[in-house]
Structure 1
Amino acid sequence: MANLELTLSALKPVVWSIAGSDSGGGAGIQADLATMNDLACHACTVITTLTAQSSVAVNLVEPVSDEMLLAQLDTLLQDLPPKAIKIGLLANQHQIDLLSRWLALDLHDHMKRNGTEVAVILDPVMIASCGDRFDGDESRLDFTPFTGLLTLITPNAFELGELVGRTLDDMSQYHLAAKDLSQLLETNVLAKGGDKGPAWRANAAQDIFVCTRVTACSEMHQHRSFLLSSQRIPSNNNHGTGCTLSSAIASVMASGFVLHDAIAVAKAYVTAGIKHSYPVGEGPGPLSRTGWPNDLNDFPIISSLDDGPSLPSGIKFKAIDERLGLYPVVSQLSQLETLLRAGAKTIQLRIKDAGEPHLEDKIAQAITLGRDYQAKVFINDYWELALKYNAYGVHLGQEDLYDADLNRIADANLALGISSHSYFELLLASQIMPSYIALGHIFPTTTKVMPSAPQGLMKLQHYVNLFKGHYPLVAIGGIDASRIETVKLTGVDDVAVVRAVTESEQPGVAYQALSSAWEQADVSQ
């Protein structure tokens, strides 16, 4: 299978690391460079601090001058503006104040003039893996000048306690502190649980994600708190895990993914890095750089930490062993019958208007037609009617999952298809073991108004690389005859089509032509 990852983007996204130099090579600027380059970004550096550091000690911390710090920022902005910025070690309060002013004035002016958004990820580094503090004995650093300027802050247990000014003894206090910090700095918070602290567990690395507001993301996942739990890898080689995580988040966001996705991918990246880490000195060794994560076992389990809606656990839906084939989605019963007559073996009835006259009769007839033609007919949204008339399956969007009685659907042995538009949604969908997952929308489409942007082929390739073989994967959204072959190059199992069939003067003929093109597309090169 051809890999589209290198061919779909002419330029690597530029990501900045504003951080300190680690002379031992395991953390700081050095770890950020390795991570950003490994995740197919172009890394630029703004060095705030030089450290005399090894795997066992930090012997000297020396900030750069104000002139040098500002010169690096301004020089890069003129020629290599960032898609995302990771901020690490800031040596003193003066550097915090200087950088926050630059972000508020210079970067803001750049974004306004160019109509762009730059993600800013702050890893508030205060202590090295060996246990030495970077800020010496001075009073607690004040990060409030960054209020309203950040996309995400990623404190560990010690740093979170310092930032909120209190001792954290248990998970509820840890969660409350993360929410308080989110309000204080007006930003999203990822409170890390890898280090010893209230979130530490012997068999799991648990992080708390407090989301305020994220663009191009489902409303179901806004203003929420989530627990992201990954397997804990038994290893003493954890030098630079925080730097690696935050720079990976910045890199994934620079590649066009939303914050929720970036956090999930970065956690998987760190897990894989620890699995293959290695010792080089007497202290903790560094992580390996293992490329974009494609092992589902490395990704976190996502659960709700608040009173918002959550999905049931321990549930599984009917498995579909055979391919779905070219999968039409129609809104009219007459078109459904025409396409079944033309040979469609999987089809979806999607009636958008709940006030449609004779809605129940149309759904009942569609299910009967499916039996007559021995086809898989999926009913979109109206799961209760699908249950009543014993449909083959139901298709639900992400928001609809929380309204439907999933246990009843599973108990009735109906197949379940789920729409997903991001890594985060895919991971949530996979946790309830659906019958198939629809990935979209891949290209711009007018059939639905979506909060997410078109996913594109590069993202589709990443999703396929992760989920291929776990569930049948169906690409949907703006797919027509001109795009069949490029979509198939990603390795996705099948495609769903809407306008390419429904807007044709001869839907049956259009279906047969598209189905033939899909089956015969040559992706062997």
Structure 2
Amino acid sequence: MTQVNNTAVIWSIAGSDNSAGAGIQADLKTIQSFSTPEQPLHLCTLVTAITAQHSSGVDACMAVYVELLHLQAMALLKDAKPSVIKIGLLVNAAQVLWLADFLQQLRKSLPDLLVMYDPVAISSSGSTMAEPDLYQAVVQHLLPHIDLLTPNLQELEALTQSPDTEQAVKLLLNTGVKAVLVKGGHAEATLCTDLLFISENFRYLGYPAYTNYIRLSSTRQQHHFNHGTGCCLSSALAAALALGYALEDAFVVAKTYINQGLSQPVAITECSGTLGHWGFPAKPEYLPELLTDKLLPPAQAFAPLKAALVLYVIVPSVAELERALVAGVKTLQLRIKSTNPQQLRQQIQQAIQLCQHPDVQLFINDHWQLALELGAYGVHLGQEDINSANLAALQQAGLRLGVSSHGFYKLLRAQQLQPSYLAIGAIFATQTKEMTGKLQGLQKLARYPALFPDIPLVAIGGINESNAKAVLATGIRHLAVVQAFAQATDPKLWVQQMQQFITEAQHAY
């Protein structure tokens, strides 16, 4: 059967929690929170166990026979195949053996299938729900078929018999697991810190991380309404990955979702309850802190822009810069690829001189040393460049700083520097850079303004007069263009049209 729309199908293979705080029921709530008419998600379930539980404990757990599990799977395949499978509670070795064989067969027809496993066997209250030999069977038979594993510290040690986190993760990666998210919510009294380890062959990785792991931390919410938190974190990861987020971005999104749910819990009694499920997070206070990839920020924020970016034209030469100025462009970036040092210096100096008008903002791409030496207004750097640039010198000299970002993880990383603006892209396919599999698209773009409201955000990548209004409808108010301006037959008329689009959006939204 062929799917006729863009609905992403997720399977949850887990236990039923009759209190609806964890298990299948929590997965349903979480996945539905991420589903929109533009990007619908549909969760199908395979029940592995029936439990009698409440928000503070599990009173009973009964495993579902393997034969019935298999019939559930065969029935679901008659409708649609999954793009992501999230595995939760498995009760015994028989279920593990069946699932390992089923996944091996399913991957023959679904090579891009993503399989996650949240190896829950003991509830957060300490109740054991699985048979003693479960993890032995998991390590031997199931882990080679798992892409992403999401254990807490207790489960990590039980799987590997190693109390050392990094050593335990190495052991798991050696079994064939592609990535491991270690949930550390029970390790600290005042913080909740999670670590994501990613191997190089994880195909959902977006841009390379700057360390072998990513560590996100949030302040612990001091209440007891946290039943099912680990389960919901894994479900939020599954939803974000099904929507096309790179793994490092999905990690940030999932952590932010949990922070929102814990900040607005559902209280059942005075001492029991669960986290809330209130849709995609939209407040900056829910964002976690990035502890790894922590950049050394300057003494204070970079100087603010002297005017809104609005229409931001990127040009490859001084000649094109002059053409843009004549057309009425006020914000420009000089992106020169010349390798001749003398020519490069000459062109940057000439560009700076041409942009001395108080209404014009010129950013020099990459060449921060020359920009600093020649007294430029600002520089634009990629994420790789900010590691080597003398940011303190740029800030002290009063230069404005723009930084490229490609998703939540890099936005979170770059905002530590308190730059003058952040660029997000590529929104659409572009001829200037290869962005296969890494495009932001309008749905992702629409999530950023609410979560990063204090820094100007500019959208870039494939933007032109035919799609500018759709980009502006996401809440973004600054548009960067490259090819669209270069190809304009009447540059002045084109600039006026784009500026009019932006002005209309400022009044409409």
Q: Name the TM-score, length of structure 2 as normaliser.
A: 0.92
In the TM superposition, residue 338 of structure 1 has moved relative to its aligned partner by 2.0
Distance 1:489 1:58 in 2: 47
What's the counterpart of residue 22 of structure 1?
17
What's the counterpart of residue 479 of structure 1?
463
**For residues 323-354 of structure 1, what are the alpha-carbon distances to aligned partners after superposition, in whole Å with 9 as ceiling and x for unaligned?**
11211000010111221233221100011343
Q: Is the 8 A contact 2:30 2:235 kept in 1?
A: yes
Q: Is the 8 A contact 1:20 1:51 kept in 2?
A: yes
In the TM superposition, residue 395 of structure 1 has moved relative to its aligned partner by 0.6
Distance 1:430 1:97 in 2: 46
Q: 1:324 to 1:522 in 2, by over 3 A?
A: closer
Q: 1:282 to 1:56 in 2, by over 3 A?
A: farther
Structure 1 range deviating more: 137-146 or 261-270: 137-146
Structure 1 range deviating more: 314-323 or 28-37: 314-323
**Structure 2 residue corresponding to 1:258, chosen from 238, 241, 246:** 246
What's the counterpart of residue 4 of structure 1?
none
Runs of 5+ unmatched residues, structure 1: 1-8
Over 6 Å off, 4+ runs: none
Q: Is the 8 A contact 2:259 2:286 kept in 1?
A: yes
Write out aligned runs for 1:153-172 (5 A).
153-166=149-162, 168=163
In the TM superposition, residue 428 of structure 1 has moved relative to its aligned partner by 0.7
- 1:97 partner letter: L
SS in 2 for 1:82: coil
Distance 1:64 1:39 in 2: 29
SS in 2 for 1:371: coil
Distance 1:216 1:257 in 2: 8
**For residues 296-344 of structure 1, what are the alpha-carbon distances to aligned partners after superposition, in whole Å with 9 as ceiling and x for unaligned?**
221111132xxxx752246521122631121100001011122123322
Distance 1:355 1:183 in 2: 47
**For residues 200-258 of structure 1, what are the alpha-carbon distances to aligned partners after superposition, in whole Å with 9 as ceiling and x for unaligned?**
22321111111113446455317711211112111111110111010110011111111
SS in 2 for 1:52: strand
Runs of 5+ unmatched residues, structure 2: 36-40
Distance 1:152 1:99 in 2: 16
- 2:170 partner letter: K
SS in 2 for 1:233: coil
What's the counterpart of residue 380 of structure 1?
365
SS in 2 for 1:268: helix
Distance 2:205 2:390 in 1: 24
Write out aligned runs for 1:423-462 (5 A).
423-450=408-435, 452-462=437-447
Write out aligned runs for 1:68-107 (5 A).
68-106=68-106
Q: 1:215 to 1:415 in 2, by over 3 A?
A: farther
- 1:298 partner letter: Y
**Structure 1 residue corresponding to 2:170, chosen from 165, 179, 193:** 179
Q: 1:459 to 1:385 in 2, by over 3 A?
A: same
Structure 1 range deviating more: 63-72 or 385-394: 63-72
Distance 1:452 1:13 in 2: 16
What's the counterpart of residue 207 of structure 1?
194
Distance 2:93 2:51 in 1: 17
Distance 2:308 2:474 in 1: 16
- 1:165 partner letter: Q
User: Quick check: 1:367 aligned with 2:352?
Assistant: yes
Q: Is the 8 A contact 2:204 2:247 kept in 1?
A: no
**Structure 2 residue corresponding to 1:510, chosen from 483, 494, 500:** 494
Structure 1 range deviating more: 143-152 or 245-254: 143-152
Q: 1:12 to 1:281 in 2, by over 3 A?
A: farther
Q: Is the 8 A contact 1:419 1:438 kept in 2?
A: yes
Distance 2:459 2:48 in 1: 45
**Structure 1 residue corresponding to 2:448, chosen from 460, 463, 466:** 463
Q: 1:491 to 1:56 in 2, by over 3 A?
A: closer
SS in 1 for 2:76: helix
In the TM superposition, residue 462 of structure 1 has moved relative to its aligned partner by 1.0
Distance 1:446 1:254 in 2: 27
Q: RMSD over aligned Cα, in angstroms?
A: 2.3
Q: Is the 8 A contact 2:179 2:196 kept in 1?
A: yes
User: Quick check: 1:228 aligned with 2:228?
Assistant: no
- 1:122 partner letter: Y
What's the counterpart of residue 3 of structure 1?
none
- 1:477 partner letter: G
Distance 1:284 1:412 in 2: 55
User: Quick check: 1:131 aligned with 2:126?
Assistant: yes
Residue correspondences, number: 498
In the TM superposition, residue 453 of structure 1 has moved relative to its aligned partner by 2.2
Distance 2:208 2:56 in 1: 45
